[in-house]
């Protein structure tokens, strides 16, 4: 009889241990959020990707500190800034890693490449990036945390025209984002009565743009518009070598470009997202001993927006519903607005490069 009682007690004890273990495992599973990140960790855009990574990591670190009962697992995949590699990385995150959501990718061409795949499944995607509406079958997934580029380029054209400039030459590249920037600027400038004397889109990886700028300056423009990140360094240095003394304008110049062209870009004015909120800057400087540059704040905001959805939702479908409903978010980048036309509007400002530093001169 005692053996039977002991046997029952042992079985009951084992059962209790198993029950507690399974309950703990279930709680941990429910509390874990697996987030994939599509970022540029190698290649020409690695500096841009590293800036984004710092913003993402800071947001996750803060969230972990304030949500001790939840677990976030970040899985980084390198896109190298290539659309094809972004697709491969996206498919791995979805089918192999079984992530709950994805942050990224960072470039317009990458967004356009993965958007059709995103539309076919229920994985929420939020990206500190931009893509035109026609490249996004689902206008709210991916949810984009980046200024609508047409709006931004047109605002720059209005600013240039307001400075009394009536003739320009514009150079961009055949990269999707940069061609849209250059074309939108030129069309808006022309619609106000200005004249675009010369416009060319070169290859993003062109080694020499001297011929292009020689032709552009031969038209005697009052100003030039550099609508490219990839060829910004080559362009500013080439303009300096050619002895150009006129006005220079551009779009979204980050600290890397400013540093690399310190001796050739003084006085150049550009439009970009406005300075980040002071509390974010202070937190970032305390951690990294440097000021945050773009797209650090946008990546930080994108991550916090996504995590705020998971506070309200318990499934991917509920997160997608939150993405459809969001109208605005006040973050490090200021008030981010998601319009009914599915455009994203962020505060921007006009800056001028002075000795390698961006100085705001106009909101």
266: domain CATH number?
3.40.50.2300
**How far is Cα 220 from Cα 198, in angstroms, rounded to an integer?**
10
Whether 233 and 305 share a structural domain: no
Whether 154 and 268 share a structural domain: yes
pLDDT tens per residue across span 221-276? 999 999 999 999 999 999 999 999 999 999 999 888 999 999 999 999 999 999 99
Question: Quick one: DSSP state of residue 261?
Answer: T
Flag whether 344 is in a domain.
Answer: no
Whether 166 and 241 share a structural domain: yes
**Closest to 358 in 3D by CA, of 235, 273, 232:** 273
Whether 89 and 206 share a structural domain: no
Q: Is 71 helix (H, G, I), strand (E, B) or coil?
A: strand
Whether 122 and 243 share a structural domain: no
Flag whether 311 is in a domain.
Answer: yes
Place of tokens 């939840």: 70
Flag whether 14 is in a domain.
Answer: no
Flag whether 16 is in a domain.
Answer: no
Q: How high does pLDDT run on average in the chain?
A: 91
Whether 231 and 126 share a structural domain: no
- The answer to whether 284 and 58 are in contact (CB under 8 A) is yes
pTM tops 0.85, yes or no? no
Give one DSSP letter per residue of 336-350, joined into a string.
EEE-TTS-EE--EEE
Place of tokens 């002895």: 243
Flag whether 343 is in a domain.
Answer: no
User: How many domains are there within the chain?
Assistant: 2
Whether 127 and 195 share a structural domain: no
Phi, psi of 97 (to 5 degrees): -85, -15
pLDDT tens per residue across span 204-220? 999 999 999 999 999 99
Whether 242 and 164 share a structural domain: yes
Residues of the chain with pLDDT > 70, as a percent, come to: 91
Flag whether 11 is in a domain.
Answer: no
Flag whether 304 is in a domain.
Answer: yes
Whether 124 and 192 share a structural domain: no
Whether 165 and 93 share a structural domain: no
> Under 8 Å CB-to-CB from 191, ≥6 apart: which residues?
none
Which region, left, alpha or beta, applies to residue 273 given φ > 0 means left and ψ of -120 to 50 means alpha? beta
Torsion, Cα of 352, 358, 360, 363 (10° steps): 90
pLDDT tens per residue across span 109-146? 999 999 999 999 889 999 999 998 888 999 999 999 99
pLDDT tens per residue across span 70-112? 899 999 999 999 999 999 999 999 999 999 999 999 999 999 9
Range of the domain at 255: 149-274+349-362
Whether 358 and 216 share a structural domain: yes
* pLDDT of res. 26: 38
**HEC assignment per residue over 95-130:** HCCCCCEEECCCCHHHHHHHHHHHHHCCCCEEECCC
Question: Could you tell me the end-to-end alpha-carbon distance of the chain, in angstroms, rounded to an integer?
Answer: 87
Whether 158 and 134 share a structural domain: no
Largest CA distance in the chain: 107
**How far is Cα 53 from Cα 295, in angstroms, rounded to an integer?**
9
């Amino acid at each position: 009889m005692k053996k039977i009682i002991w046997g029952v007690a042992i079985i009951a004890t084992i059962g209790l241990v198993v029950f507690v273990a399974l309950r703990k495992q279930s709680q941990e599973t429910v509390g874990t959020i697996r987030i994939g990140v599509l970022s540029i960790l190698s290649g020409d855009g690695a500096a841009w990707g590293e800036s984004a990574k710092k913003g993402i990591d800071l947001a996750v670190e803060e969230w972990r500190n304030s949500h001790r009962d939840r677990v976030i697992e970040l899985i980084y995949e390198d896109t190298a800034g290539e659309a094809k590699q972004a697709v491969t990385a996206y498919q791995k995150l979805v089918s192999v890693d079984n992530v709950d959501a994805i942050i990224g990718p960072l470039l317009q061409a990458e967004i356009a490449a993965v958007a059709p795949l995103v539309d076919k499944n229920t994985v929420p995607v939020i990206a500190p990036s931009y893509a035109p509406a026609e490249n996004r079958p689902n206008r709210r997934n991916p949810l984009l945390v980046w200024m609508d580029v047409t709006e931004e380029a047109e605002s720059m054209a209005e600013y240039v025209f307001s400075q009394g400039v009536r003739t320009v030459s514009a150079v961009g590249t055949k990269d999707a984002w940069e061609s849209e920037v250059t074309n939108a600027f030129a069309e808006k400038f022309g619609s106000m009565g200005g004249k675009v004397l010369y416009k060319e889109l070169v290859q993003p990886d062109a080694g020499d743009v001297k011929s292009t700028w020689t032709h552009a300056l031969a038209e005697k423009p009052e100003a030039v518009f550099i609508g490219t990140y990839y060829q910004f360094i080559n362009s500013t240095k080439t303009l300096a070598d050619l002895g150009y003394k006129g006005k220079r304008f551009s779009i979204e110049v980050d600290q890397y470009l400013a540093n690399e062209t310190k001796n050739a870009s003084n006085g150049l004015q550009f439009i970009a997202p406005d300075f980040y909120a002071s509390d974010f800057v202070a937190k970032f400087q305390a951690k990294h001993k440097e000021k945050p540059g773009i797209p650090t704040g946008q990546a930080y905001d994108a991550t916090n927006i996504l995590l705020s959805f998971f506070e309200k939702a318990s499934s991917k479908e509920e997160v997608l519903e939150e993405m459809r409903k969001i109208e605005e978010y006040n973050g490090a980048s200021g008030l981010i607005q998601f319009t009914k036309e599915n455009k994203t509007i962020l505060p921007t400002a006009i800056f001028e490069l002075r000795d390698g530093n961006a100085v705001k001169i106009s909101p």
